[in-house]
Structure 1
Amino acid sequence: MEQEKLLVVTDQVAVSVSAVFDAIKVVRKEGVEQIDPLIITQASLDSLSSVESSSIDDVVSLCKSLEFPSDQLLANLSRVLKPGGRILLYLTSQSVEANSSLERKLLLAGFLDIQSSGSKSVGVTGKKPSWKIGSSFSIKKTSQVLPKVQVDDDVDLIDEDSLLTEEDLKKPQLPPSDCEVGSTRKACKNCTCGRAEAEEKVEKLGITMDQLNNPQSACGNCGLGDAFRCSTCPYKGLPPFKLGEKVTLSGNFLAADI
């Protein structure tokens, strides 16, 4: 035999048995033959402190005033209710405003499936959520099925190497130097490789090609620049360089400043 625990709270000193039975008819579930009611008159927060959490199947509030139950008391009633348990706020009144006020109370307290039914009395029912505060559950994501790409095996891919011609594969030939060979080679009469211009710059500076190709310094300051060179330095006027490395002259090195 299935038995349910029913908690009845009221702001009155005493409550009639008929009112309790009327409330039981509203919250009674099918198949339940026996209900064990616990009635608390002049209910307060202290009077509910001894009731265990999630131990009551249904709660009925019988009241004369719209101020009952208070928000704190209603939160405590939700605490003692089992997940999915029902609550009934029962008020003797014919006022539509009273009905709306009770609905708002249950909504703000976190109850679901709020319904009202009125005749001579106003009654609003609600249901405690079946989940607990702080509980979580996974959401199944719908996977989008992408259309399959139909690959035609009869279509041949182009070989990239076949796009190159024999001319593309030939290594480009650099123009050979038409001047003398060797470490002391000089520019020829009809020089086109640029050696003649380089020798002309060297002659104007008064230094040899060996000094440019392999610069050396007895004092160690020649490569630092004119600010560190003495008055008789052969590299005076040249840009800074590293000892032992060829000195590179720009194309407009000897051009007159305008």
Structure 2
Amino acid sequence: MSNLIVGSLNSEEYFKLVENNNQALNLVLDRILEGGYSLPDNHFSTIHLSITPQDYSAINSDQLLLLLFKALAPSGSLIIHNLSPPTLPSQLILTGYTNPTSESAATTCTTKPQHAPAISLSLKKSNKKSSKPLWNFSQAQPIDPAQLLTQQDKAAPSTPLSCPTTKKRRACADCSCGLKEELAKESQVNIDTSSDLTKTFTNVKDAQAKGATSSCGSCYLGDAFRCASCPYLGLPAFEPGQKVEIDMSADV
């Protein structure tokens, strides 16, 4: 194993280190970061790093520290000269170095662990047969839609005594429960147009007794209370003792 000196041309300390370590490998910072020289893994026992604070701010320092970490041999040392930013110790620990210590105001020394953390993963495919899929539509039995309906579902719904929405015996605007049709049947007025039907009525009860029927029984109150098919529509309200002539001819 050998030593490595990494530095920038702006650092005077770099040239001093090169001069005092003739056997060490010397590399300029840019060659490492730009891929001009590939550092061997786990090779160097000691690495000296000498760059200026301006270089440190301009480069990707995390990338540089990681490259040097891979190049260090287990238990190898990294010595950083003339550089002491506040974030450097935590940055070294996050990269994987241990025990970063400041030997002087501008020199930091740290080491690479003897055993780098590693995770062993098995990439072999399992021979265990996969379980059958939970949903297999190709083998699913067809469903007859007619079997989904019971006799109760097919039965016509019974007409409620009151509207489920209004809670009154009055159909709402979009009635679908059958109450609207039921009320329409109840409001129909049937008139017997036979020849023996008296055409002069003195009151509603007399008219109903002669064959004119109405389920609402409010014809005597006037048009505001009469059905659309009421035979008395357009006539004044009945009063006791008042005679009302109704033309029952076929062309009415």
* TM-score normalised per structure 2: 0.39
